[in-house]
Structure 1
Amino acid sequence: MNTRGKLVVRILAGIGALLSLYLLTMKLNGQISSISGCGSGGGCANVLGSRWSQFFGIPVSAFSSALYLTILGLTFRFNATLARSASILLFGAAAWFMGLQFFYLKTFCPWCLATHLTGILTATALLLHHGDEKKKSSIHQWTVGLGGIAILVAGQLFGPVPDTHLITEEKQPSEPKETSQAETGERMVSFPNSETAVPLKDLPHIGPIDAPHVLIKYFDYTCNSCRDMHGDLGKLQASYPEEITVVYLPVPLNRSCNPHLSSRVKDHEGACELARLSLAVWKTNPELWEQVHNGLFSRPVLSPAIARGHIEQRVDKVQLEEALKDPWIAERLTSNMKTYQTMVIATDRMPKLVMEGGSVMHGISRTTEDFVKTIREKLKL
């Protein structure tokens, strides 16, 4: 390889190594996790938190760091076979990961894209600057390069998938300030890190009021992961119809009504309005609330105007308007958001599902079957 070629490859491979090491650091220090859900810091959190960011439990950025450092070494002791094999592997890996972002994840991480583009440029430089050592590519070189790509793709498609949810233990109130169930005869619900309790009948819920187990879901109607868990909970309750009741407490991911969001969380348009509409229906006509609640989780996300139009076909327009003015809605949202805020230390990811004993599931499971199994074991169903 000539001197000019070595310089170009060293610069590009150095940039690629630095980018890869930066992404690896974010994975290793917990800044980016595999927890799947809304409320993340944007595209990089979604991409680097996906199953595709790992290969048999090891961050792919660790492999790319090693590959770029190997290429740097080749500029000091050149080997044509390794150089061409590395070029093929870089091209293939860049195409694979960029394709996943564009066509599957449909979200983008600028740092990841920069790494992949650097890989393409590095591979091109390796192929163009062999100088006097240029030779025709051998079958062996193609076998090594394409074999590496095949192993990568197969490992990610069929290898172990990391957990996409996290379960933590939260502090439970020891002596609720609210009147106890024994004193009122009502089923009371308490919240993590809070000394208050509220009658179950006053909270939006699905399931029998005397069910042995009560779960509390903190969610946002504009959150795709919350919508996915809605289906998981439906499957769970269909399997145990008399044993589980789920309380649904909206926490809008929008700063116009939720001042507790961290700077990492992107505002979700229409979240506040949809939450208020849901609570207004509960206040006006609890019997219709479950139907409206399911409708608000339709795909794609409904705009507030369209959602209200659908609701007004079922609920009296005047009653709905009066309910939206009820101070209870603002009080309920404020309480939901304050309680939710105590649970984001582990992760910002939503939804959050509170179980008995203070256990909280953050994010969603890989599959509905995994979800049902996890809850069944936690509740000893």
Structure 2
Amino acid sequence: MNHTTTPTLLARHQGEVLSKSSASSALNWLVQDMKSLPRWPVTTLLATCISVAIGTSSYLLWTHLTSSPIAGCGSGDGWIDCEGVARSRWSVWFGVPVSLLALAIYVAMAASLVVASLDRFSRPRREIAWIGMTAAVFAAGMSAIWFIVVQLLVLQHICLYCMLAHTCGLVATITLLVAGPLRAKSAMTIASLSFVGLMILVSGQLLTPPPAAFEIELFDTPSVDGNDALEFLPPNSRNENLEDNLFDAPVTSAKIYKPPQGYAHLLALPVLVAIGVVEAESSQADDLPERFASIQGGAIKLKVADWPHIGPNDAKYVVVEMFDYCCPPCRETFQAVRSAQVELGDDLAIVLLPVPLNSDCNPTIKVTGAHYKESCVLSKLAVATWRVDPKAFESLHLWMLADDHAPTYAETIAKARTLVDPKRLDIELASGVSDQYISRHVALYKRVGEGAIPKLMFPRTSVVGKFTSVDGLVDLIRREGTER
């Protein structure tokens, strides 16, 4: 027994010694091939690039993990489209966000640079740190080239934050090539090793299936107890006998004020000043069926008749949709929602809550992308049209989402004026009620966790993100869309 195991153990020991000896020899060769260590101008430039890249990668990782919109970087069909890049298959590696990999590399660079640039560390340690720093920088530079090519040639969209991080990686790579401590031969050796790492990254991305464009949230029980649920009480609302979890609409009674004929042009403005709010016509009549839409496991309820919607007030199935008229994923989801509406007919009601991704009317948005510049005014116009004429609202809503691109406000209000009385629409817009509705939509958006839109919400399920399967949506509506 001992005679057979002893040679094996000796062989293993000799292999480990040879392996350590080879690694030590390679490291000694790299150290001996070094020039003088870089001085402060080089380390300062490297530190700047690394700091910017760490900040950028951290932000992109945070938006990925929280499904938050990327601020000020567009989200649409133009070249600048951070959302499209960040949600593509090239944003992950075997399910791991590439922003996390980038952050790890830049943090390793930062640690190596600290050791390499401070005199308090011994010369051998500083030399080894510069070797590690060079390997990490070359890996970042090669990865930057790969991701720039993907954005320009494959996606044909660019993410400004990504490009900033890639630029930092390229600048750091060029800096070490020109003023780094390694000579050409040893630098090429390290570059070869970094290229192997790049091939592992690329292969992993090619083998990783495209990520799902949506997430499903499940709510088995109400997220809060009935006694702890917040009351969302709008201005001048009816607050008697309300359920604690009823999300109430910011309107009161049922008739719109109509001045005597012949004096409308004189009395319209004084009446607005006197009463403050123009009241809706028949869309909130008291005799409508009280069909409620429950979301978040029953923690929140909305009376269908009190909110912008299409479909019967007493429909068998109800879905609550949060969206933005300028949001490309919302427009793609609309095609599936519209097809489901056609298939289910009067059995389906869709409560439509525009949530503009624009900081002018949505405080959760810190920086507004150019694509969402008119989100607020488009949403308010749609709500105002619903207040004047619910049937006209359905026509306008379908028209606004029919094309690949959102219509401008000028185009939309011109269309709305062909569907409803222009004077009544102007009075409704001037009343400010549609602004109150948008504020309530945003409040509910914050209540359900903010994040990505569109959101298709049912009693026990929420689908967050682009959802384009018609059959899947119809099945989901039939299974989840009844009141619970």
Q: Secondary structure at the match of 1:326?
A: helix
1 CA distance for matches of 2:246 and 2:414? 40
Partner of 1:234: 338
Change (3 A) 1:22 1:337: same
What TM-score does the superposition give when structure 2 sets the normalisation length? 0.59
Query: What corresponds to 2:119 in structure 1?
Result: none
1:41 and 2:74 matched: no
Native 8 Å contact 2:385 2:425 kept in 1: yes
Contact 1:37–1:351 (Cα < 8 Å) also in 2: no
Q: Is 1:63 aligned with 2:101?
A: yes
Counterpart pick for 1:113 among 147, 160, 163: 163
Q: Which residue of 1 aligns with 2:175?
A: 125
Write the distance in 2 (CA, Å) between the matches of 1:270 and 1:176.
Answer: 30
Runs of 5+ unmatched residues, structure 1: none
Q: Does the 8 Å CA contact 1:276/1:329 hold for their aligned counterparts?
A: no
Q: For residues 285-327 of structure 1, give each alpha carbon's deviation from its aligned partner in whole angstroms, at most 9, with x where no partner exists.
A: 4444333212212332222112223344x425xx133133137
Q: Are positions 1:350 and 2:453 aligned together?
A: yes
Give structure 2 stretches of 5+ with no counterpart: 1-33, 75-81, 117-125, 230-242, 249-285
Structure 1 length normalisation: TM-score?
A: 0.72
Seen in structure 2, the aligned counterparts of structure 1 residues 232 and 5 have a Cα distance that, compared at 3 Å, is farther
**1:186: how far off?**
0.8
User: 2:436 pairs with 334, 337, 362, which one?
Assistant: 334
Aligned-pair identity in percent equals 20
Please say if residues 336 and 467 of structure 2, whose CA atoms lie closer than 8 Å, have aligned partners that are also in contact: no
SS at match of 1:344: helix
State the secondary structure of the residue aligned to 2:446. Answer: coil
CA contact (8 A) 1:24 1:59 kept: no
Deviation at 1:215, TM superposition (A): 1.0
CA deviations 1:2-47 (Å, max 9, x no partner) are 225476665455445444544554466xx42356676x53339848
Residue identity in the other structure for 2:480: L
Which residue pairs with 1:308 in the alignment? 413
* Count of residue pairs brought into register by the alignment: 363
Equivalent in the alignment of 2:381: 277
Whole-Å Cα distance in 1 between the matches of residues 43 and 325 of structure 2?
49
Partner Cα distance (1:347, 1:141) in 2: 45
CA contact (8 A) 1:218 1:249 kept: yes
Match of 2:255 in 1: none
Partners of 2:375 and 2:342 in 1: how far apart?
A: 28
| CA deviation after TM superposition for structure 1 residue 117, in Å | 1.7
Higher RCO (Cα < 8 Å, 6 or more apart): 1
Q: Distance in 2 between matches of 1:289 and 1:66?
A: 50
Larger radius of gyration: 2
Query: In the alignment, which residue of structure 2 is the partner of 1:159?
Result: 208
CA distance in 1, matches of 2:213, 2:474: 13
Paired letter, 1:113: M
Quote the Cα distance in structure 1 between the aligned partners of 2:348 and 2:302. Answer: 19
- What are the residue-to-residue correspondences of 1:95-110 with 2, within 5 Å? 95-100=145-150, 104=155, 106=157, 108-110=159-161
Determine helix, strand or coil for the equivalent of 2:128. coil
Does the aligned pair in 2 maintain the 1:177–1:195 contact within 8 Å? yes
Deviation at 1:217, TM superposition (A): 1.5
Q: Give the whole-Å Cα distance in 1 for the aligned partners of 2:245 and 2:444.
A: 18
